Chain A
Amino acid sequence: MEKILELKNLKKHYPIYGGVFKKEINSVKALDGVDLDIYRGECLGVVGESGCGKTTTSKAIIKLHDPTSGEIIFHPKDHKDSYDIARMKPRHMKKNGLRSKLQMVFQDPTTSMNPRMLVKNIIAEPIIENTNIKGKALEDRVVELLEMVGLTRNHLYRYSHEFSGGQRQRIAVARALATNPEFLVLDEPTSALDVSVQAQILNLMDSLRKKLNLTYMFVTHHLLVVKYISTRIAVMYLGKIVEIAETEKLFENPVHPYTNALLSGIPSTDLDIEKKRIILKGDVPSPLNPPEGCRFHTRCPFAIELCKKKEPVLEDIGNHKVACHRKDEVQELISKKFA
């Protein structure tokens, strides 16, 4: 499989200034060494609790903020070279034609659109910015995009407040698709929508990905949504990735204790399935002073001395990467303790 993006030891620390001279006294370690490969054509789901660094990762890829250290290597389709965009300046990105290849759909469609712009202008803006299309051709392109997301020519001359939540999110998708991107970050695109509308948007996203051969990074905390739409899932905890695997594999055979707890915590409408529920104690520790050793050891039911001292690395166990010291025994321990 062809890689489209490689994250290498990506870090993002938000500094905290204090004292008389406003020196940096501490930092919030939102991302603390993330290694991740994203393959062309897949939909990578990123799940985790709030504050674990899901959105920070996606914003770093789109370059909405600069990472503290690490590399983001981007392999565009028609280019021979690959680029490290982590340190690249915005104007260089635009000059090389990379800016238009990476796009994002935001969480709340109400706040992510200018209320004073017509739908036509909202969608045309990225096209004007990146290409020379003008006049009739531009309008045709906008209509084409609108039809792609299930709206019509009649919606061109309206303002965003005249639409319902689902339609607004469709417009946001059309805007993201306007520059022919290769990679889309979807940051909780359905969490502000109703359940019945959520299904429409999910189906739309899925069909667009197959039709336009897009690559998605789908950030969400809703595990069943991510199961439905993604082909591969990365589980994050406190600024680190703890487990990556293909969707089926992860749901059938989760290895990391945190993934196990997450999956067992999903409330499901299938009442006939018997589940063993693993209830974690306490809360996510503060990213100001993350625990030493394995970051999960403070809440892990199976933590041993080694976990408190040494940080586990992400190891490959057959198309399935896990960062846990006791990865071989976890299943046994769970069936013993929570049977």
Chain B
Amino acid sequence: MKKIIETENLRTNFYTYEGVVKALNDVCITVNHGETFGLVGESGCGKSVTVRSMMRIIQSPGKVESGKVLLFLDENGEQEAVDLLQQSESYMQSCCGDQISMIFQEPNAALNPIMSIGEQVAESFLFHRKKSLSEASLERLNAQDCKVPFKGIFKNLYKKYHEDENAFVFKLLSHIPLLNRWDFLIRQEAFKRAVEIISKLGIPHAEDIAVQFPHNLSGGMKQRIVIAIALACSPMLLIADEATSNLDVTIQAQILELLKDLKKKHISSILLITHDLGVVAETCDRVGVMYAGSLCEVAESRELFGNPSHPYTKALLESVPKFHQEGALKTIEGNVPNLVTPPAGCRFHPRCKHRMDICDKEVPNLLEIGKNHSVACHLFGDK
């Protein structure tokens, strides 16, 4: 299988007044082409920090200490790995939203309240797809029935823009009032595409919605708009950070169905982050379970839910109420450790039922114990 993104020994720390929070401890995850990878865990286990480190949007006082984030780009049939952590800021700008894009947790916080919906979706076309937009505008100018004043001048401008985006003349124009609107055709084109993608996501009356503002829409609609922004440039990898957590059950079902649909048609892979085990079981092909900043089990979802191996995964599955619940719920004793002073060795050992002497001394490595099934636990060390 072709990989799409891979992290190697990713380590992220937060430098707070209380001390150094070791949020990620050697996290290695791989997302393959055409799969939905789920990342589950309790709050504070480092799910979001993992993807934020991957996208390089960790905010101060956080810092990615070491590790690699490899993005595999297809170049003439050959895969080329790019380490995102070594790239320049401008490379990340062109990459985020184009190759990788992200759906954030709270649609309320992710949308700009003073920009119309259509403009916000169009923004991502304007940033990443200016070339194809100027081409489309040129076509429109060349058409017979086009009624734009000073057609000739615009034709020349757009042609030049198509050849060289960074020409001096455009920088000059962008500083002159009124003339800085020379690219209105490009904007119109972007808005048209935005409406298209909004209607593709199953929102009725997309033209009317596109001129409205975020506060006019309901939570489910807003989430769809955020998805539309992320999907605008048809990315290779879509990262959904708790995309359905704040939504009601019926709306959540709508959004999950939508993501499934989209995966079939448009995007190749989804990295889904959630704390809801049910959502993972129903949508993901492979699942990674995280605990206190380290990955403890990775397996195909049928395998993980049918045959959980790591003691934490087992306990977690038993502590969630099920559809056919029999008897009382089992609990995990104790609390999630403070990551300023994480337990030595395996981070789960203070709460683990199968604790051994080695557990508080050595950190277990992720070992393969079956087909596509890896566990980081000393119980499986000998095999």
Contact = CB atoms under 8 A, between A and B. Distances in A.
Interface of A: 49-50, 164, 166-167, 194-200, 202-203, 206, 221, 223-225, 227-228, 251, 261-262, 264-271, 273, 277, 279-280, 283-284
A166 to B, nearest CB: 7
Contacts of A283: 218-221, 251
B328 A266 contact: no
Interface residues of B, number: 45
Q: Which of A167, A264, A279 has the largest count of B CB atoms less than 10 A from its CB?
A: A279
Nearest to B250: A280
B316 A195 contact: yes
9 contacts: A195-B316, A199-B320, A203-B331, A206-B328, A227-B321, A228-B321, A228-B325, A266-B323, A267-B276
A164 to B, nearest CB: 5
B250 A268 contact: no
A26 to B, nearest CB: 18
Interface string B273-316: 00111110111000000000000000001100110000000011
B367 interface: no
A254 to B, nearest CB: 13
Interface in B220-258: 220-221, 248-254, 256-257
Contacts of A269: 277-278, 281, 305, 317, 320, 322
B250 A49 contact: yes
Contacts of A225: 321
Given A194-B336, A199-B331, A271-B301, 19 more contacts: A49-B249, A49-B251, A50-B248, A164-B336, A166-B335, A196-B332, A199-B319, A199-B329, A202-B329, A221-B249, A261-B250, A262-B249, A267-B252, A268-B323, A271-B282, A280-B253, A283-B219, A284-B218, A284-B248
B319 A268 contact: no
Interface of B: 42-44, 218-221, 248-254, 256-257, 275-279, 281-283, 301-302, 305-306, 315-317, 319-325, 328-332, 335-336
A228 B335 contact: no
A198 B44 CA distance: 15
Given A194-B336, A195-B275, A196-B331, A270 B221 contact: no
B315 A196 contact: yes
Q: Nearest 4 A-B pairs (CB), nearest first?
A: A267-B278, A265-B253, A199-B319, A49-B248
A194 B43 contact: yes
B331 A270 contact: no
B38 to A, nearest CB: 11
A194 B42 contact: yes
Contact of B254 (A206, A267, A271, A280): A280
Nearest to B40: A195
B196 to A, nearest CB: 21
Given A199-B319, A202-B329, A267-B282, A277 B253 contact: yes
A225 B322 CA distance: 8
B328 A203 contact: yes
A27 B184 CA distance: 44
Given A195-B320, A270-B323, A265 B250 contact: yes
B351 to A, nearest CB: 8
A268 B281 contact: yes
B318 to A, nearest CB: 8
A336 B127 CA distance: 48
B328 A223 contact: no
A279 B42 contact: no
Contacts of A265: 249-250, 252-253
Q: Which of A197, A206, A267, A268 has the largest count of B CB atoms less than 10 A from its CB?
A: A267
B350 to A, nearest CB: 13
A223 B249 contact: yes
A196 B316 contact: yes
Q: Which of B257, B276, B282 has the largest count of A CB atoms less than 10 A from its CB?
A: B282
Contact of B324 (A164, A270, A280): A270
B315 A268 contact: no
Contact of B42 (A49, A195, A202, A268): A195
Given A195-B316, A196-B42, A199-B331, A268 B322 contact: yes
Nearest to B320: A195
Contact of A273 (B218, B254, B323): B323
A166 B335 CA distance: 8
Contacts of A202: 321, 329
Nearest to B279: A267
Contacts of A203: 328-329, 331
A119 B189 CA distance: 62
A259 to B, nearest CB: 11
A264 B190 CA distance: 39
A267 B281 contact: yes
